[in-house]
Amino acid sequence: MLFSIVTLFPELFGPFLQTSMVGRALEQGAARVRLSELRSFGLGKHKSVDDTPYGGGSGMVLRVEPVVAALESLDEAAAAAGEPPAHRVLLTPQGARFAQQSARSLAGRPHVALVCGRYEGFDERVRSYVHEELSLGDFVMTGGEVAAMAIIEATVRLLPNVLGNEASTASESFSDALFGALEYPQYTRPAEFRGAAVPAILTSGDHAKIDAWRREQSRERTAARRPDLGGAKS
């Protein structure tokens, strides 16, 4: 899987791409990342990528020409290498909320382009050149780079052979096995810590009862913390 990232600050991705499972995925070849610096597609002697908004207002707006030129350049490079064009994703607070299903959908695509915003956002006409818009949630950040990292990490871990144990994604929060609900409580050694003991059912060896306990705990936790999730009623 290829991620192409359009950003004004490619240097932010260096340590992230070398660390943990993302670094492992790149090393194994399960995923690849290409960084495209938006400034290189800027206009004029100063490589300008932004301008003041029509109609007045504070801040600066990313111009349409550099963003579109960057996206078209990605597809030209992909075609020259015999690779598919990118599924273009605009990272913006106005996008659909990124969720586990979003990660699953992206993981099934061979080439995804993540376009990181800055300043007051994009010229509205940029939206005509992307396939979807995504947001991490109902808040605003300075730029889309952190959102891009979150999306890459959530997606890469779903690719084959990236995790040491493929079963790790089978019964986690938001998984199909839990009907989209939150994961049940997990425990490890010690058996008791400062008066708080591991539930006896988990050391009973009765796997049928353990599975039933986990399902019930998942339902109760979801109902209490995220009643909006369908698994709360499963």
pTM, two decimals, is: 0.91
Q: In which element (H, E) is residue 177 found?
A: none
210 in the same domain as 130: no
Q: What is the pLDDT of residue 167?
A: 62
19 in the same domain as 108: yes
- Residue 163 placed within a domain: no
144 in the same domain as 194: no
- Residue 68 placed within a domain: yes
Q: What's the rounded Cα separation, in Å, for the pair 90 and 53?
A: 19
Here the CATH number for the domain that contains residue 100 is 3.40.1280.10
214 in the same domain as 147: no
175 in the same domain as 119: no
Here the CATH number for the domain that contains residue 186 is 1.10.1270.20
194 in the same domain as 144: no
Of 114, 134, 156, the one marking the end of a domain is: 156
Of 156, 190, 218, the one marking the end of a domain is: 156
- Residue 16 placed within a domain: yes
- Residue 48 placed within a domain: yes
- Residue 61 placed within a domain: yes
Residue 90: partners with Cβ closer than 8 Å, 6 or more residues away: 115, 117, 122, 126, 127, 130, 132, 133, 134
Judge whether residue 139 has pLDDT over 60: yes
Q: What is the pLDDT of residue 234?
A: 46
Bridge-based pairing of strands 192-193 and 196-197 is antiparallel
- Cα of 4 vs its chain's centroid, Å: 13
100 in the same domain as 176: no
134 in the same domain as 43: yes
Can you give the residue range of the structural domain that contains 193? 170-233
Q: 118 with 144: CB under 8 angstroms?
A: yes
Segments of the chain assigned E as strands: 2-7, 32-37, 50-51, 61-62, 87-97, 111-116, 132-135, 192-193, 196-197
132 in the same domain as 191: no
Residue type, 122: F
Buried/exposed code over 195-233 (b: 16+ C-beta within 10 A; e: otherwise): eeeeeeebeeeeeeebeebbbebbbebbeeebeebebbe
228 in the same domain as 178: yes
Three-state secondary structure call for residue 23: helix
202 in the same domain as 150: no
- Number of domain units in the chain: 2
Q: What is the pLDDT of residue 16?
A: 97
| Confidence class for position 72, pLDDT limits 50, 70, 90 | very high
Q: What is the mean pLDDT of residues 14-37?
A: 96
| Digit-coded pLDDT (tens) for 179-205 | 999 999 999 999 999 999 999 999 999
- Residue 165 placed within a domain: no
Of 100, 130, 156, the one marking the end of a domain is: 156
191 in the same domain as 126: no
- Residue 148 placed within a domain: yes
- Residue 161 placed within a domain: no
Task: State percent of the chain over pLDDT 70.
Answer: 96
